[in-house]
Amino acid sequence: MPIITCIEDLRVLAQRRVPRMFYDYADSGSYTEGTYRANETDFSKIKLRQRVAVDMDNRTTKTKMIGEDVAMPVAIAPTGLTGMQHADGEILGAKAAEKFGVPFTLSTMSICSIEDVAEHTSKPFWFQLYVMRDREFSENIIDRAKAAGCSALVLTVDLQLLGQRHKDLKNGLSAPPKLTIPNMINMATKPRWGLGMLGTSRRTFRNIVGHAKGVDDISSLNSWANEQFDPQLNWKDLEWIKKRWGGKIILKGIIDPEDAKMALKVGADALIVSNHGGRQLDGALSSISALPAIIDAVGDKIEVHMDGGIRTGQDVLKAKALGAAGTYIGRAFLYGLGAMGEQGVTTALDIIRKELDTTMALCGLRDVNDLSRDVLLMPDRWW
């Protein structure tokens, strides 16, 4: 086992252990992948003010996200096909998050079902909803999330249609994987992954198969999924979703201040500044560069979170200093999961918390809740 010091170490290990089609699914963006890369690299433009001779004892990274106590301002983002990065991946991720003290968000397009995750955890998790053309399915999955005790509904609003991801098309991505000769050869080089998958029955989209009308097996699943993302989703749909859910709602996929104002208007409890990890509109702003204008527009009226490009605790600090009440890790979580299962998720979270804690200290801060723009330096002060 190599010495793991950073998220990049987990990424390299995951790339070795996860079949190419699933690793590429996690580690790619749409079209030229420009926005995907910018999500990460734009953090490096923001510099930090180092302070000295300040009492750094008794530091804390604890805070709240939508009123829930969290060990640090980080949640695990909803990611599709997580159970194909590692057998029972969503269950392992949820268990690691619960033990660590951060929220876990389960995707509609998960391999393990809502009920699977609820059975293996003892604290409420969050559920991410894609609104489908089949409104009966959407209503039923909301009801299932309520029955499982989920404490927040994360409604994704930026996937009315899919941005093209070249690697997925070339790899013939599917769950379970298509057994083409190149895919079989590649999977044969991943024995750890293969043994894990042989040991579980969870190998398809268990939130959908057996729950959506006419979807009883894999052959009917693919055609259903390709037709179901709803291009007619609009702000008026929030009314029936809120009524059906009856709890806290977080809107994910806001990247423009005008849309942030709409999120406030429809009564969301929080919004997530996100461009879907650079997997939708290539050429859109990075999440961190979009964050300041959204904070300035609505930040004192609605809780603002941020998703996209978080690889270090310093990234978390920068987003928090710019006004985000919380951040989300998607790829960093998947790298840890693919590399080492549940222990890898815990390692990823621990890396980020330690980096956040150390950076706070060197910036002269003891409490993550005291972070402000004063700790940041930028040549052009774009916020």
The string of pLDDT tens digits covering residues 223-234 is 676 678 888 889
Q: Is 211 a catalytic residue?
A: no
- Which residue type, as a one-letter code, is found at position 145? A
Mean pLDDT of the chain: 93
Percent of the chain with pLDDT over 90: 83
CA distance 255 to 276: 10
pLDDT at 47 over 80: yes
Looking at residue 135, its amino acid is R
74-78, 79-83, 227-231: lowest mean pLDDT where? 227-231
The predicted pLDDT at position 25 comes to: 94
Question: Over 70: is that where the pLDDT of 14 sits?
Answer: yes
pLDDT of residue 215: 79
Q: Give the residues across from 307 on adjacent strands.
A: 328
For every residue of 151-196, DSSP letters joined together read SEEEEE-S-SSPPP-HHHHHHT--SSPP--HHHHHHHHT-HHHHHH
Q: What average pLDDT does this structure show over 173-200?
A: 88
The pLDDT tens digits of the residues spanning 297-352 come to 998 999 999 999 999 999 999 999 999 999 999 999 999 999 999 999 999 999 99
pTM of the predicted model, to two decimals? 0.95
Residue-level length of the chain = 383
Q: What is the pLDDT of residues 128-169, one digit of tens each?
A: 999 998 999 999 999 999 999 999 999 999 987 888 889 888
Q: What is the pLDDT of residue 170?
A: 86
**pLDDT in the model for residue 2:** 82
- Return the pLDDT at 29: 95
In whole angstroms, give the CA distance from residue 137 to residue 169. 27
Query: Residue 223: what pLDDT?
Result: 64
The pLDDT of residue 239 is above 60:
yes
**Average pLDDT in the 354-362 region?**
98
Choosing from 86, 120, 211, 276, the catalytic residue is 276
b/e map of 303-332 (b: 16 or more CB within 10 Å)? bbbbbbbbbbbbbbbbbbbbbbbbbbbbbb
- Average pLDDT of the segment spanning 281-294: 96
Q: Scanning the structure block, which residue is given the tokens 């749409």?
A: 30
Amino acid found at 47: K
Looking at residue 171, its pLDDT comes to 86
Q: How far apart are CA 144 and CA 355, in angstroms?
A: 37
For residue 292, say if its preceding peptide bond is cis, omega within 30 degrees of 0: no
Q: Which residues of 86-104 are buried (b: 16+ CB within 10 A; e: fewer)?
A: bbbbbbbbbbbbbebbbbb
For the ranges 78-92, 154-168, 204-218, the lowest mean pLDDT is seen at 204-218
Give, rounded to a whole angstrom, the gap between the first and last alpha carbons of the chain.
43
Greater confidence (224 vs 50) lies with 50
pLDDT at 213: 83
Q: Which residues make Cβ contacts (< 8 Å) with residue 64, sequence separation at least 6?
A: 70, 325
pLDDT at 222: 61
Q: What is the radius of gyration, based on Cα positions, of the chain?
A: 20
